Protein backbone atom coordinates (compact mmCIF):
# COMPACT_ATOMS: atom_id res chain seq x y z
CA UNK A 1 0.00 0.00 0.00
CA UNK A 2 1.74 3.18 -1.07
CA UNK A 3 1.74 5.46 1.94
CA UNK A 4 1.99 9.16 1.30
CA UNK A 5 4.53 11.05 3.32
CA UNK A 6 5.43 14.64 3.40
CA UNK A 7 9.09 15.00 2.58
CA UNK A 8 10.56 17.97 4.39
CA UNK A 9 14.19 17.03 3.93
CA UNK A 10 14.80 19.87 1.48
CA UNK A 11 13.73 22.39 4.09
CA UNK A 12 16.58 21.35 6.34
CA UNK A 13 19.04 21.43 3.51
CA UNK A 14 21.42 24.36 4.01
CA UNK A 15 21.79 24.72 0.24
CA UNK A 16 18.05 25.44 -0.08
CA UNK A 17 17.09 29.02 -0.89
CA UNK A 18 17.14 31.33 2.08
CA UNK A 19 13.76 31.93 3.73
CA UNK A 20 11.68 34.63 2.11
CA UNK A 21 10.76 37.84 3.82
CA UNK A 22 7.84 37.67 6.25
CA UNK A 23 4.24 38.28 5.36
CA UNK A 24 2.78 40.37 3.89
CA UNK A 25 5.82 40.93 1.70
CA UNK A 26 4.93 38.03 -0.56
CA UNK A 27 5.16 39.25 -4.13
CA UNK A 28 2.18 38.89 -6.37
CA UNK A 29 2.02 35.80 -8.52
CA UNK A 30 2.74 37.93 -11.54
CA UNK A 31 6.26 38.55 -10.41
CA UNK A 32 7.10 34.85 -10.29
CA UNK A 33 8.13 32.79 -13.26
CA UNK A 34 5.73 30.12 -14.30
CA UNK A 35 6.06 26.56 -13.06
CA UNK A 36 8.54 27.61 -10.46
CA UNK A 37 8.99 25.82 -7.22
CA UNK A 38 10.65 26.50 -3.94
CA UNK A 39 14.04 25.54 -5.30
CA UNK A 40 14.26 27.86 -8.26
CA UNK A 41 12.66 31.01 -7.05
CA UNK A 42 13.65 34.04 -9.07
CA UNK A 43 15.80 36.77 -7.70
CA UNK A 44 14.49 39.42 -10.06
CA UNK A 45 11.06 40.29 -11.35
CA UNK A 46 10.39 39.89 -15.05
CA UNK A 47 10.28 43.29 -16.71
CA UNK A 48 7.43 42.28 -19.01
CA UNK A 49 4.96 41.86 -16.20
CA UNK A 50 2.66 44.69 -15.28
CA UNK A 51 0.99 44.55 -11.92
CA UNK A 52 -2.58 45.78 -11.76
CA UNK A 53 -3.13 48.89 -9.73
CA UNK A 54 -5.04 48.30 -6.54
CA UNK A 55 -7.84 50.41 -7.96
CA UNK A 56 -8.19 47.84 -10.69
CA UNK A 57 -8.59 45.03 -8.25
CA UNK A 58 -12.26 44.26 -8.63
CA UNK A 59 -15.26 46.07 -9.99
CA UNK A 60 -18.53 47.18 -8.46
CA UNK A 61 -16.54 47.82 -5.30
CA UNK A 62 -15.87 44.11 -4.97
CA UNK A 63 -12.34 43.03 -4.21
CA UNK A 64 -13.03 39.66 -5.79
CA UNK A 65 -15.47 40.24 -8.67
CA UNK A 66 -18.79 38.43 -8.49
CA UNK A 67 -19.96 37.21 -11.88
CA UNK A 68 -23.56 36.30 -12.59
CA UNK A 69 -23.48 33.12 -14.66
CA UNK A 70 -27.09 33.60 -15.77
CA UNK A 71 -26.20 36.97 -17.35
CA UNK A 72 -23.00 35.96 -19.06
CA UNK A 73 -24.42 34.99 -22.43
CA UNK A 74 -26.47 38.18 -22.84
CA UNK A 75 -24.86 40.97 -20.86
CA UNK A 76 -21.83 42.75 -22.29
CA UNK A 77 -21.28 44.36 -18.91
CA UNK A 78 -21.00 40.95 -17.27
CA UNK A 79 -18.66 39.77 -20.04
CA UNK A 80 -16.43 42.81 -19.52
CA UNK A 81 -16.42 42.17 -15.83
CA UNK A 82 -15.36 38.59 -16.46
CA UNK A 83 -12.55 39.76 -18.75
CA UNK A 84 -11.38 42.15 -16.06
CA UNK A 85 -11.53 39.34 -13.51
CA UNK A 86 -9.42 36.90 -15.49
CA UNK A 87 -6.90 39.42 -16.82
CA UNK A 88 -6.41 41.59 -13.73
CA UNK A 89 -7.49 39.74 -10.62
CA UNK A 90 -7.14 36.09 -11.54
CA UNK A 91 -10.10 35.30 -9.28
CA UNK A 92 -13.85 35.72 -9.29
CA UNK A 93 -16.93 34.20 -7.70
CA UNK A 94 -19.60 32.67 -9.90
CA UNK A 95 -23.19 33.02 -8.72
CA UNK A 96 -26.56 32.02 -10.20
CA UNK A 97 -25.00 29.01 -11.87
CA UNK A 98 -26.87 25.77 -12.50
CA UNK A 99 -25.41 23.75 -9.64
CA UNK A 100 -28.01 23.52 -6.91
CA UNK A 101 -27.33 23.86 -3.23
CA UNK A 102 -28.76 20.39 -2.79
CA UNK A 103 -26.11 18.92 -5.06
CA UNK A 104 -23.34 20.80 -3.30
CA UNK A 105 -24.57 19.63 0.06
CA UNK A 106 -24.76 16.10 -1.33
CA UNK A 107 -21.07 16.10 -2.18
CA UNK A 108 -20.16 17.75 1.12
CA UNK A 109 -22.07 14.94 2.84
CA UNK A 110 -20.19 12.33 0.84
CA UNK A 111 -16.91 14.01 1.68
CA UNK A 112 -17.77 14.10 5.39
CA UNK A 113 -18.71 10.41 5.30
CA UNK A 114 -15.51 9.48 3.47
CA UNK A 115 -13.17 11.51 5.66
CA UNK A 116 -15.02 10.40 8.80
CA UNK A 117 -13.95 6.80 8.24
CA UNK A 118 -11.16 5.06 10.14
CA UNK A 119 -7.73 5.93 8.82
CA UNK A 120 -7.18 2.38 7.55
CA UNK A 121 -10.17 2.61 5.27
CA UNK A 122 -8.87 5.85 3.81
CA UNK A 123 -5.25 4.81 3.35
CA UNK A 124 -6.53 1.65 1.66
CA UNK A 125 -7.40 4.02 -1.18
CA UNK A 126 -4.11 5.88 -1.06
CA UNK A 127 -3.05 8.16 -3.87
CA UNK A 128 -1.53 6.60 -6.93
CA UNK A 129 -0.74 7.79 -10.38
CA UNK A 130 -1.97 6.07 -13.48
CA UNK A 131 -0.42 7.37 -16.64
CA UNK A 132 -2.89 9.37 -18.66
CA UNK A 133 -5.37 9.44 -15.82
CA UNK A 134 -3.60 11.65 -13.34
CA UNK A 135 -3.56 11.06 -9.66
CA UNK A 136 -6.34 9.25 -7.85
CA UNK A 137 -6.92 8.45 -4.24
CA UNK A 138 -6.60 9.59 -0.67
CA UNK A 139 -3.83 11.70 0.83
CA UNK A 140 -3.50 12.47 4.50
CA UNK A 141 -2.95 15.59 6.55
CA UNK A 142 0.47 17.20 5.90
CA UNK A 143 0.96 15.14 2.72
CA UNK A 144 0.65 18.07 0.36
CA UNK A 145 2.71 21.18 0.87
CA UNK A 146 1.42 24.15 -1.07
CA UNK A 147 3.66 26.62 0.73
CA UNK A 148 5.20 27.16 -2.66
CA UNK A 149 7.24 30.20 -1.68
CA UNK A 150 8.37 28.94 1.72
CA UNK A 151 6.53 31.70 3.50
CA UNK A 152 6.07 29.60 6.61
CA UNK A 153 8.86 28.68 8.97
CA UNK A 154 8.92 25.02 10.03
CA UNK A 155 5.91 24.31 7.90
CA UNK A 156 4.85 20.68 8.12
CA UNK A 157 2.56 20.81 5.11
CA UNK A 158 -1.09 21.71 4.62
CA UNK A 159 -3.42 20.47 7.31
CA UNK A 160 -5.95 19.25 4.81
CA UNK A 161 -6.58 15.66 3.87
CA UNK A 162 -7.98 15.04 0.44
CA UNK A 163 -9.30 12.68 -2.16
CA UNK A 164 -8.48 13.13 -5.83
CA UNK A 165 -10.77 11.55 -8.37
CA UNK A 166 -8.12 11.63 -11.08
CA UNK A 167 -7.84 13.21 -14.45
CA UNK A 168 -10.61 12.08 -16.75
CA UNK A 169 -10.59 12.57 -20.45
CA UNK A 170 -14.32 12.20 -20.81
CA UNK A 171 -16.32 14.70 -18.85
CA UNK A 172 -19.25 12.33 -18.69
CA UNK A 173 -17.15 9.61 -17.13
CA UNK A 174 -15.97 11.53 -14.12
CA UNK A 175 -17.43 9.47 -11.33
CA UNK A 176 -19.90 6.79 -10.57
CA UNK A 177 -23.21 7.55 -12.35
CA UNK A 178 -24.92 7.75 -8.98
CA UNK A 179 -22.96 10.88 -8.28
CA UNK A 180 -25.39 13.21 -9.86
CA UNK A 181 -23.52 16.30 -8.79
CA UNK A 182 -20.49 15.79 -10.94
CA UNK A 183 -22.54 14.82 -13.96
CA UNK A 184 -24.76 17.82 -13.71
CA UNK A 185 -21.74 19.99 -13.11
CA UNK A 186 -20.18 18.62 -16.24
CA UNK A 187 -23.25 19.21 -18.33
CA UNK A 188 -23.65 22.70 -16.98
CA UNK A 189 -20.09 23.79 -17.40
CA UNK A 190 -19.16 21.80 -20.47
CA UNK A 191 -21.16 24.17 -22.64
CA UNK A 192 -19.20 27.08 -21.26
CA UNK A 193 -15.74 25.56 -20.97
CA UNK A 194 -14.61 23.08 -23.55
CA UNK A 195 -11.99 21.46 -21.39
CA UNK A 196 -11.62 17.76 -22.04
CA UNK A 197 -10.15 16.90 -18.66
CA UNK A 198 -11.26 17.74 -15.19
CA UNK A 199 -10.11 16.59 -11.79
CA UNK A 200 -12.51 16.70 -8.92
CA UNK A 201 -10.97 16.89 -5.49
CA UNK A 202 -12.53 16.66 -2.07
CA UNK A 203 -10.68 18.46 0.72
CA UNK A 204 -11.15 18.29 4.45
CA UNK A 205 -9.28 20.74 6.66
CA UNK A 206 -8.85 19.07 10.00
CA UNK A 207 -9.58 21.80 12.49
CA UNK A 208 -10.33 19.64 15.51
CA UNK A 209 -8.70 21.52 18.33
CA UNK A 210 -6.45 20.15 20.98
CA UNK A 211 -6.35 23.19 23.18
CA UNK A 212 -3.98 25.03 20.88
CA UNK A 213 -5.06 28.47 22.06
CA UNK A 214 -7.72 28.89 19.42
CA UNK A 215 -5.42 27.78 16.68
CA UNK A 216 -5.84 24.74 14.55
CA UNK A 217 -4.79 21.50 16.08
CA UNK A 218 -4.81 17.96 14.88
CA UNK A 219 -5.51 16.23 18.13
CA UNK A 220 -6.76 13.12 16.40
CA UNK A 221 -3.42 12.71 14.74
CA UNK A 222 -1.45 13.35 17.90
CA UNK A 223 0.18 16.36 16.29
CA UNK A 224 -0.15 19.82 17.67
CA UNK A 225 -0.48 22.25 14.87
CA UNK A 226 -0.02 25.86 15.81
CA UNK A 227 0.06 27.48 12.45
CA UNK A 228 -2.74 29.67 11.29
CA UNK A 229 -2.01 28.68 7.72
CA UNK A 230 -4.14 25.74 6.66
CA UNK A 231 -3.00 25.63 3.04
CA UNK A 232 0.20 27.40 2.03
CA UNK A 233 0.49 30.29 -0.43
CA UNK A 234 0.54 28.96 -3.97
CA UNK A 235 -0.68 29.38 -7.50
CA UNK A 236 -2.70 26.62 -9.14
CA UNK A 237 -0.97 24.40 -11.65
CA UNK A 238 -3.49 23.94 -14.40
CA UNK A 239 -5.85 26.05 -16.50
CA UNK A 240 -8.53 27.10 -14.08
CA UNK A 241 -10.19 25.95 -10.91
CA UNK A 242 -13.78 26.06 -9.74
CA UNK A 243 -14.00 25.66 -6.01
CA UNK A 244 -16.78 25.55 -3.51
CA UNK A 245 -15.59 26.58 -0.07
CA UNK A 246 -17.90 26.11 2.87
CA UNK A 247 -19.19 28.67 5.35
CA UNK A 248 -16.01 28.33 7.39
CA UNK A 249 -14.30 30.56 4.83
CA UNK A 250 -10.60 31.25 5.07
CA UNK A 251 -9.57 31.47 1.42
CA UNK A 252 -7.38 34.52 0.79
CA UNK A 253 -5.89 36.05 -2.35
CA UNK A 254 -2.70 38.07 -2.54
CA UNK A 255 -3.23 41.43 -4.24
CA UNK A 256 -0.71 43.45 -6.18
CA UNK A 257 0.52 45.20 -3.04
CA UNK A 258 1.21 41.91 -1.30
CA UNK A 259 -1.80 42.25 1.03
CA UNK A 260 -4.06 39.27 1.67
CA UNK A 261 -7.66 39.80 0.64
CA UNK A 262 -10.41 37.53 1.85
CA UNK A 263 -12.55 35.63 -0.61
CA UNK A 264 -15.80 35.94 1.32
CA UNK A 265 -18.02 32.91 1.54
CA UNK A 266 -21.07 33.43 -0.66
CA UNK A 267 -23.59 30.63 -0.21
CA UNK A 268 -23.71 28.39 -3.26
CA UNK A 269 -21.06 30.39 -5.17
CA UNK A 270 -18.10 28.82 -6.92
CA UNK A 271 -14.77 30.54 -6.58
CA UNK A 272 -13.02 30.49 -9.94
CA UNK A 273 -9.34 31.16 -10.42
CA UNK A 274 -6.83 31.02 -13.24
CA UNK A 275 -3.89 28.63 -12.97
CA UNK A 276 -0.30 28.89 -14.20
CA UNK A 277 -0.89 26.80 -17.31
CA UNK A 278 -3.54 29.18 -18.64
CA UNK A 279 -1.42 32.19 -17.71
CA UNK A 280 1.43 30.74 -19.72
CA UNK A 281 -0.84 29.64 -22.58
CA UNK A 282 -2.27 33.14 -22.93
CA UNK A 283 1.17 34.74 -22.98
CA UNK A 284 0.51 36.24 -19.54
CA UNK A 285 -2.84 37.79 -20.46
CA UNK A 286 -4.79 35.75 -17.93
CA UNK A 287 -3.45 36.02 -14.41
CA UNK A 288 -2.66 33.21 -12.05
CA UNK A 289 -2.77 34.66 -8.56
CA UNK A 290 -1.25 33.53 -5.27
CA UNK A 291 -3.77 32.31 -2.72
CA UNK A 292 -3.82 30.41 0.56
CA UNK A 293 -6.23 29.18 3.21
CA UNK A 294 -6.01 30.48 6.75
CA UNK A 295 -7.54 28.91 9.76
CA UNK A 296 -10.88 30.65 10.09
CA UNK A 297 -11.27 33.42 12.60
CA UNK A 298 -13.99 32.69 15.04
CA UNK A 299 -14.82 36.36 15.54
CA UNK A 300 -15.31 36.86 11.83
CA UNK A 301 -17.39 33.82 11.13
CA UNK A 302 -19.21 33.33 14.41
CA UNK A 303 -18.69 29.61 13.95
CA UNK A 304 -17.51 27.35 16.74
CA UNK A 305 -13.78 27.02 16.98
CA UNK A 306 -13.47 23.40 15.99
CA UNK A 307 -15.64 23.43 12.90
CA UNK A 308 -13.81 21.53 10.22
CA UNK A 309 -13.72 22.88 6.71
CA UNK A 310 -14.69 21.07 3.51
CA UNK A 311 -13.88 22.45 0.10
CA UNK A 312 -14.53 20.98 -3.32
CA UNK A 313 -12.23 22.10 -6.11
CA UNK A 314 -12.59 21.11 -9.76
CA UNK A 315 -9.41 21.55 -11.77
CA UNK A 316 -10.03 22.12 -15.48
CA UNK A 317 -7.39 21.16 -18.00
CA UNK A 318 -6.85 20.07 -21.55
CA UNK A 319 -6.27 16.44 -22.41
CA UNK A 320 -3.12 15.07 -20.71
CA UNK A 321 -1.20 14.65 -23.96
CA UNK A 322 -1.86 18.14 -25.32
CA UNK A 323 1.35 20.15 -25.77
CA UNK A 324 1.06 23.49 -24.03
CA UNK A 325 2.93 26.52 -25.27
CA UNK A 326 2.33 30.23 -25.12
CA UNK A 327 0.01 31.73 -27.72
CA UNK A 328 0.67 35.13 -29.16
CA UNK A 329 -2.58 36.65 -27.98
CA UNK A 330 -1.49 39.13 -25.38
CA UNK A 331 -1.61 42.63 -26.86
CA UNK A 332 0.50 43.95 -24.01
CA UNK A 333 3.29 41.45 -24.48
CA UNK A 334 3.30 39.96 -27.97
CA UNK A 335 5.65 37.01 -28.24
CA UNK A 336 9.00 37.84 -29.71
CA UNK A 337 9.16 41.23 -28.02
CA UNK A 338 10.44 40.29 -24.62
CA UNK A 339 7.26 38.40 -24.06
CA UNK A 340 8.71 35.69 -21.94
CA UNK A 341 6.89 35.53 -18.64
CA UNK A 342 9.70 33.76 -16.89
CA UNK A 343 12.97 35.09 -15.60
CA UNK A 344 15.26 32.51 -17.09
CA UNK A 345 15.40 34.21 -20.49
CA UNK A 346 13.93 31.07 -21.97
CA UNK A 347 11.24 32.02 -24.45
CA UNK A 348 7.91 30.79 -23.18
CA UNK A 349 7.24 29.01 -26.44
CA UNK A 350 10.35 26.91 -25.90
CA UNK A 351 8.90 25.49 -22.73
CA UNK A 352 6.63 23.19 -24.66
CA UNK A 353 5.57 20.30 -22.48
CA UNK A 354 2.44 18.24 -22.34
CA UNK A 355 -0.33 19.11 -19.97
CA UNK A 356 0.37 15.92 -18.05
CA UNK A 357 4.09 16.66 -17.69
CA UNK A 358 3.34 20.12 -16.37
CA UNK A 359 0.78 18.90 -13.86
CA UNK A 360 2.78 15.91 -12.65
CA UNK A 361 5.87 18.00 -12.19
CA UNK A 362 4.01 20.38 -9.92
CA UNK A 363 2.15 17.60 -8.19
CA UNK A 364 5.28 15.71 -7.25
CA UNK A 365 6.92 18.87 -5.94
CA UNK A 366 3.95 19.59 -3.70
CA UNK A 367 3.86 16.03 -2.40
CA UNK A 368 7.59 15.58 -1.88
CA UNK A 369 9.56 12.64 -3.11
CA UNK A 370 8.61 9.78 -0.81
CA UNK A 371 5.31 8.95 -2.30
CA UNK A 372 6.53 6.13 -4.50
CA UNK A 373 5.01 7.47 -7.67
CA UNK A 374 6.60 7.46 -11.06
Ligand X SMILES: O=C(O)CCC(=O)C(=O)O
Size of the site for ligand X (CB under 6 A): 10
Euclidean distance between CA atoms 40 and 10, whole angstroms: 13
Binding track over 262-301 against ligand X, x by CB under 6 A:
-----------------------------x-x--------
Answer for which of 161, 164, 236, 252 binds Fe ion (CB under 5 A) is 236
Q: How far is the CB of 237 from ligand X (least distance, A)?
A: 8
Contact criterion met (CB below 8 Å) for 143 and 374: no
Euclidean distance between CA atoms 90 and 345, whole angstroms: 24
Of 182 and 235, nearer to Fe ion (C-beta) is 235
Of 251 and 277, nearer to ligand X (C-beta) is 251
Residues near 43 by Cβ (< 8 Å), separated by ≥ 6? Answer: 343
Q: Which region, judged by CB under 5 A, interacts with Fe ion, from 35-43, 100-108, 119-127, 235-243?
A: 235-243
In this structure, the dihedral spanned by the alpha carbons of residues 77, 82, 88 and 90, taken in order and rounded to 10 degrees, is 160
Q: Which region, judged by CB under 6 A, interacts with ligand X, from 48-56, 135-143, 243-251, 352-360?
A: 243-251
Residue nearest to Fe ion (CB): 236
Of 45 and 307, nearer to ligand X (C-beta) is 307
Please report, as residue ranges, which positions from 177 to 236 form the binding site for ligand X (by CB under 6 A).
203, 231, 236
Residue nearest to ligand X (CB): 311
How long, in residues, is the chain?
374
Of 48 and 239, nearer to ligand X (C-beta) is 239
Q: Which of 45, 20, 47 is nearest to 149 (CA)?
A: 20
| Using rule CB under 5 A, residue 147 touches Fe ion | no
- Residue 345: count of CB within 10 angstroms of its CB: 8
Q: How far is the CB of 305 from ligand X (least distance, A)?
A: 19
Answer for which of 94, 243, 324, 335 binds ligand X (CB under 6 A) is 243
Is the alpha carbon torsion for 43, 44, 46, 50 positive or negative? positive
Euclidean distance between CA atoms 369 and 374, whole angstroms: 10
Contact criterion met (CB below 8 Å) for 367 and 139: yes
Give alpha helix (H) positions in 45-179: 76-84, 101-115, 119-123
Answer for which of 245, 317, 342, 371 binds ligand X (CB under 6 A) is 245
Angle value at C-alpha 364, between 154 and 371, nearest 5 degrees: 80
Q: How far is the CB of 93 from ligand X (least distance, A)?
A: 12
Residues at the contact surface with Fe ion, assessed by CB under 5 A: 236
Residues at the contact surface with ligand X, assessed by CB under 6 A: 203, 231, 236, 243, 245, 251, 291, 293, 311, 313
Amino acid sequence: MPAIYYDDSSRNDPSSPSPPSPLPAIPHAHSYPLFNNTHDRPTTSPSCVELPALADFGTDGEVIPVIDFSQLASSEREQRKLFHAVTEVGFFQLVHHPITQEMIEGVQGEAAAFFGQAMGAKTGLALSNERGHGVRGYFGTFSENLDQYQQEKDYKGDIKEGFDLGLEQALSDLTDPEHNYTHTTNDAFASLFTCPAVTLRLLHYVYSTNGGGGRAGCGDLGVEYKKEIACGAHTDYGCFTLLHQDATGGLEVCDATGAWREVPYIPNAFVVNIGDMLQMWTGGLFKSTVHRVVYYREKQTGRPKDTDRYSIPFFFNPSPYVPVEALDINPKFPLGEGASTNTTNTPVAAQKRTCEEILMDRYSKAFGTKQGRA
